[in-house]
Amino acid sequence: MRNVAARTWVFAAAAAFAIGPFVAATQQTPTPAETVRAIAPPTRPLPPESASAHIKKFSFIAYGDTRGRQDGTALQYEHGMVVDSMLATIKALDDTDAPVKFILQSGDAVVNGGDAAQWNRSFVDLINRLTSVAGVPYFLAPGNHDVTASADLTAPGRLNGLKNYLSAVGQLIPPDSAPRRLPGYPTFAFGYGNTFVVALDSNIAGDDSQFEWVKQQLAGLDRARYANVIAFFHHPPFSSGPHGGPTVEAPTAALRARYGPLFRAHHVRMTITGHEHLFEHWVERYQEGTEKFRMDHLVTGGGGAPIYTYQGEPSLKDYLSAGAASKVALQHLVKPGVSAGDNPHHYVVVHVDGDDLQVEVIGVDWGRGFAPYRSSKAQLKDGGGVRP
């Protein structure tokens, strides 16, 4: 009996010895990192740039800041309401002479862009509805929550967020080798009809390579064709929410110092930004000799993120002083409200008709009927009826 027990013990020990390394190896094998799913390409993509040169009438949608409380666990609820409204707007305009041709999102898709689960579970499938159901091209500029606020191109957090961003939008923006893409950056451009759009990463607004690329893109434009030049990015040059007012964040300072003069030199018609979770509208006027120009700055961060409120006027003294030779003047045409109830989730529709632009602000859920201009619409030209 003693011999049987001994043999049994030896067999068990041998088995444990043989299985042990296998179990240990299995336990030590890391779980593969989750990969961000690519957003489906639009079923109605933009034609090649040269093929749309004759088009002078259409619409596009712009909004920003879709990050929400469900990120990583469920679809973004508030963003979902915005998408529902967009789908209805796109459908309503489809049979008109100014259909919606693309959507611009100015950043902060999710709370933590370095977390693949947040993109996969909360954001990607909502955008698939826009690109697959409505069929509309969707362009996203990165926000600080997407790629971090670091200005260091090699920062690990930025690299991780950028990888996830590019995995999500890789089928939506020009490829790395395209003339309308700055290689290695989330910086790109495209042209449709008489309108040229450039997207830049305002988290790195001080970066020389990006600045020179944007400068070259603008300098090389055929302005006989491109009557309207639009820039979209995350941080507003001027705002009155918690990121603005008396605060001047580093990206804002760089945008004012570098891109303000560049945009005036090339007569950029409009900037579209977010970062502030509210709607406001600034008008920048300037002169070249006796010729007068206007640039509209729209802040539209109502895509679903927690609502912000008015915090005070920003200091403009240095900006106006630097632009004195061009007689730069700024008007805060629409101010956000001082309470959250004044600043609903929303998006804007920009209607293009030649060089005439009209903006329509559409509030969702309890914000239906939002009328920041005392109506929901405004013509973007002096003497053309922008009367708040």
Let me know: does 299 contact 236? Beta carbons within 8 Å.
yes
Give the SS3 label for residue 259: helix
Question: What CATH number is attached to the domain comprising 238?
Answer: 3.60.21.10
Q: Which residue has the tokens 């003339």?
A: 179
Whole-number Å distance between alpha carbons of 197 and 230:
5
Q: Which helix (H) or strand (E) holds 350?
A: strand 346-353
Instruction: List, run by run, the mean pLDDT of 10-residue segments along the chain (388 residues).
Output: 42 41 43 88 98 98 97 98 98 98 98 98 98 98 98 98 98 97 98 98 98 98 97 98 94 98 98 98 97 97 98 96 98 97 97 98 97 96 53
Q: In the chain, what is the straight-line distance between the N-terminal and C-terminal CA atoms, in Å?
A: 100
DSSP 118: H
pLDDT of the residue at 60 = 99
Position 187 in a domain: yes
The pTM of this model reads 0.91
Q: Which residue has the tokens 């008008």?
A: 283
Give the SS3 label for residue 139: strand
Cβ contacts of 375 within 8 Å, gap of 6 or more: none
Q: How many domains does the chain have?
A: 1
Let me know: does 89 contact 349? Beta carbons within 8 Å.
yes
Position 25 in a domain: no
Position 15 in a domain: no
Let me know: does 282 contact 295? Beta carbons within 8 Å.
no
Let me know: does 187 contact 200? Beta carbons within 8 Å.
yes
pLDDT of the residue at 61 = 99
Handedness of CA 65, 66, 72, 77 (dihedral sign): positive
Handedness of CA 67, 73, 79, 83 (dihedral sign): positive
pLDDT of the residue at 105 = 99
- Whose CA is closest to 238, among 208, 275, 264? 275
CA 191 and chain centroid, separation: 17
pLDDT of the residue at 69 = 94
Phi, then psi, of 385 in degrees rounded to 5: 105, 20
Whole-number Å distance between alpha carbons of 65 and 304:
6
Position 3 in a domain: no
Position 17 in a domain: no
Position 96 in a domain: yes
Position 55 in a domain: yes
How large is the greatest C-alpha to C-alpha distance in the chain, in angstroms? 112
- Helix then strand then coil, in percent of the chain rounded to 5, is 35, 20, 45
Position 9 in a domain: no
What is the domain extent for residue 352? 31-379
